[in-house]
Amino acid sequence: MTVRGIGEIAMHNTDVLRVKAAYVKAPFQVTYREIDLDPPAPDEALLDVLATGICGHDMEIATLLAREPTPFGHEICARVRAVGPGVTHIKAGDQVVLESSSFCGLCADCRNGRADLCRNLVSFWGRPAMGFSPAMLSPARCAVPAEGLDPAVASLAEPCGVALDMVKLSEVGMSDRVLVVGAGAIGLMAAAIIRRRTCGKVVVVDSNPGRLTLARGLGADEVFSRHEVALGELGKQFGGFHKVLVTAPPGVLNAALEAAAYGGIAVFIGFDWGDGGKVAIDTTAMHVGKKQLRASFASPAMYLPEAVELLRTGVVPGEKIVTHRMPLSRLAEALQKVRTDRQHTCKVAILPDELYRA
Ligand SMILES: [Zn+2]
Ligand SMILES: [Zn+2]
């Protein structure tokens, strides 16, 4: 049987599912490859993708990391089509979200209660079809039930887990003043969560007015343009921030520490590849100010059940963060939109063409 439209699924024999998965080669060359998906192995799930978010890391892959055509897409909501015989926690028909990597549960770190330190990760990364595909195979272990959520909103569960990692790492207290630097999807979700955890001021800084408007809508008390105020000055204005959450490249870390109160904690996520990742820090100011700097790295992906509940209850209002839905056949256009129109674009969810309604 032939495959016609992009994303069209055809049974190529009784057992194999043929899909057209999107691949990208830097810079921004999107192609579609026919991939045959076998029936799931005993510990696998075969998934019909419902929505996949475009993430900052996808943009890095599309901009420079993909030297060869590479499958991508890791913020995924899907419907289970079939599971292998060893899978018991999900079944065909279930709506799920995927951990982009899962802890193993077997290594010493996992057994010692530190699954967050597991390096024996289980994942769908590197499979020939990932989230930007109408269907994919994944270790079933990565799938977390997410029934009753709009799929595009549910696809925020993975980055919401990253936001949760930052919030937990910051140990935000009930009356802490908190500064969030960078109003991408992760910063915005972190701000929305923190809004419920502290009665202190929540302040968001970004360079883009559109993002600051979003931050206001998510419960930030005050928002400031990075162009108009230095973080250190902002710290003085508010009497110092007990917690500073940075979702921006590391060049901003000294300024973030300046904004922190005596005893403040700055948590950061935001890679810069190459020498941009090397930053000189004023350690004396950290000592005498009793300040801490903590790196967040949400690998393995964790807290997705919490993230699903935050989205389900609207504590994290996913509808405001997903600004666009676009079909898989227009992925190249969607990537350009994310790259060039930060003012109007926050999270873009890619839907299989069959599910997309303009
Ligand atoms: Zn992501
Ligand atoms: Zn482990």
Distance 166 CA to ligand 1 centre (A): 14
pLDDT, tens digit, 9 for 90 and up, residues 70-98: 999 999 999 999 999 999 999 999 999 99
pLDDT of residue 5: 47
Mean pLDDT, the chain cut into blocks of 10 residues (358 residues total): 46 77 98 98 98 96 96 98 98 98 97 97 97 98 98 98 98 98 97 98 97 96 96 98 96 96 96 85 96 96 98 97 98 97 96 88
DSSP string of 251-291, one letter each residue: GGHHHHHHHEEEEEEEEE-----GGGG-----HHHHHHTT-
For residue 135, give the 3-state DSSP assignment.
strand
pLDDT of residue 4: 43
Residue tagged 């190459």 (tokens)? 274
Distance 116 CA to ligand 2 centre (A): 8
pLDDT of residue 275: 84
In CATH, which of 3.40.50.1260, 3.90.180.10, 3.30.70.870, 3.30.450.40 is domain 10-155+316-355? 3.90.180.10
Distance 76 CA to ligand 1 centre (A): 9
pLDDT of residue 221: 98
Q: Which ligand is nearest to the CA of 298?
A: 1
Query: The complex's ipTM?
Result: 0.97
Distance 111 CA to ligand 2 centre (A): 7
Q: Is 47 exposed, middle or buried (0-12, 13-18, 19+ CB in 10 A)?
A: buried
- Computed from CA positions of residues 341, 214, 143, 295, in that sequence, does the dihedral angle turn out positive or negative? positive
Residue 270 contacts residue 249 (beta carbons within 8 Å): yes
Q: Which ligand is nearest to the CA of 121?
A: 2
Q: Which H/E stretch holds residue 337?
A: helix 331-340
Q: How far apart are CA 237 and CA 259, in angstroms?
A: 9
Distance 103 CA to ligand 2 centre (A): 5
DSSP string of 69-99, one letter each residue: -EE---EEEEEEEEE-TT--S--TT-EEEE-
List the chain domain ranges: 10-155+316-355, 160-295
Distance 57 CA to ligand 1 centre (A): 6
Closest CA to 72 of 59, 85, 86: 59
Q: How far apart are CA 352 and CA 225, in angstroms?
A: 36
Q: How far apart are CA 286 and CA 283, in angstroms?
A: 5
Q: How far apart are CA 334 and CA 62, in angstroms?
A: 12
In the beta sheet, which residues pair with residue 145? 96
Distance 55 CA to ligand 1 centre (A): 4
The answer to whether 10-155+316-355 and 160-295 have equal CATH topology is no
Distance 59 CA to ligand 1 centre (A): 10
pLDDT of residue 2: 39
Residue 140 contacts residue 83 (beta carbons within 8 Å): yes
For residue 11, give the 3-state DSSP assignment.
strand
Distance 303 CA to ligand 2 centre (A): 16
Distance 197 CA to ligand 2 centre (A): 30
Distance 354 CA to ligand 1 centre (A): 24
Q: Which ligand is nearest to the CA of 131?
A: 1
Q: Which CATH class is domain 160-295?
A: alpha beta
**Which one-letter DSSP state was computed for residue 64?**
I
**Phi then psi dihedrals of residue 332, to 5 deg:** -60, -45
**Phi then psi dihedrals of residue 185, to 5 deg:** -55, -40
Q: Which ligand is nearest to the CA of 125?
A: 1
Structure tokens at 315: 């504590």
